[in-house]
């Protein structure tokens, strides 16, 4: 971005701001497409190249901020800059709010899917009835935990589940 903004300013002086803004938005779109193709085994250097590509697009697209204030008279440039920055801040706030809402919805869905998978795994395993009952009970108890509770509580619950399962298995052995 530090390289692309000055370069974009020079290009805007020659070709016009709308051309540079369009090119910037196009580069951002392509870079987001490339970033969406990243897999866990993608080399880090390739990710860095994609992010640099994204930075160039962002630097070119930021010409819209400069180009929106340029036509204003000098005595109105402060007002124009304030309006542009207010719009930018509102956009960021709304974007963050929407992103957090979407992530929160997906976390709840993932949590529910993990619970269902865990209960199905317990049902399909060949376990003693006492062990199955204890495993189901402890799994349901773990997922009834409030979302706001800390990760430490989850670790504590996992230790408790292991202990109860071990106890149920030992009781089955001693009874047999």
Same-domain check for residues 57 and 114: no
pLDDT reported for residue 51: 94
Whether the pTM exceeds 0.85: the reply is no
* The last residue of a domain, from among 46, 71, 96: 71
What are the structure tokens assigned to 114, written together? 């993990």
The answer to the question of residue 47 being in a domain is yes
The answer to the question of residue 88 being in a domain is no
Residue whose tokens read 């910037």: 24
The answer to the question of residue 67 being in a domain is yes
Nearest C-alpha neighbor of 87 from the set 64, 106, 110:
64
Tell me: the pLDDT tens digits for 18-65?
888 899 999 999 999 999 999 989 999 999 999 999 999 988 888 777
Same-domain check for residues 67 and 116: no
The answer to the question of residue 61 being in a domain is yes
The answer to the question of residue 24 being in a domain is yes
pLDDT reported for residue 69: 79
The answer to the question of residue 97 being in a domain is no
Same-domain check for residues 111 and 165: yes
Same-domain check for residues 66 and 108: no
Q: What would the DSSP string read from start to end of 17-75?
A: HHHHHHHHHHHHHHHHHHHHT--TTS-HHHHHHHHHHHHHHHHHHTHHHHHHHTTS-GG
pLDDT reported for residue 148: 47
The answer to the question of residue 82 being in a domain is no
Total domain count for the chain? 2
Instruction: Domain of residue 132: give its range.
Output: 104-175
- One digit per residue, the tens of pLDDT, for the chain of length 176 reads 678 888 888 888 888 888 888 999 999 999 999 999 999 899 999 999 999 999 999 888 887 777 777 788 889 888 888 888 898 899 999 999 999 998 888 887 888 888 888 888 888 888 888 888 888 888 888 877 655 454 555 677 777 777 877 777 777 677 66
pLDDT reported for residue 149: 54
pLDDT reported for residue 49: 94
């Amino acid at each position: 971005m530090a390289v692309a903004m000055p370069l974009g300013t020079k290009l805007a002086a020659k070709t016009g701001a709308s051309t540079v803004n369009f090119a910037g938005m196009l580069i951002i779109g392509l870079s987001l497409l490339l970033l969406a193709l990243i897999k866990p085994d993608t080399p880090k250097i390739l990710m860095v190249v994609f992010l640099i590509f994204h930075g160039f697009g962002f630097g070119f697209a930021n010409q819209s901020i400069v180009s929106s204030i340029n036509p204003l008279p000098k005595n109105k440039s402060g007002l124009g800059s304030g309006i542009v920055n207010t719009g930018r801040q509102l956009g960021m706030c709304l974007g963050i709010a929407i992103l957090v809402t979407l992530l929160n919805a997906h976390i709840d869905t993932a949590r529910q899917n993990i619970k269902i998978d865990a209960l199905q795994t317990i049902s399909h395993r060949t376990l003693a009835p006492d062990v199955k009952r204890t495993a189901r009970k402890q799994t349901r108890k773990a997922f009834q935990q409030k979302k706001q509770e800390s990760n430490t509580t989850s670790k504590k619950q996992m230790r408790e589940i292991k202990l109860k399962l071990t106890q149920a298995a030992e009781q089955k052995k001693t009874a047999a």
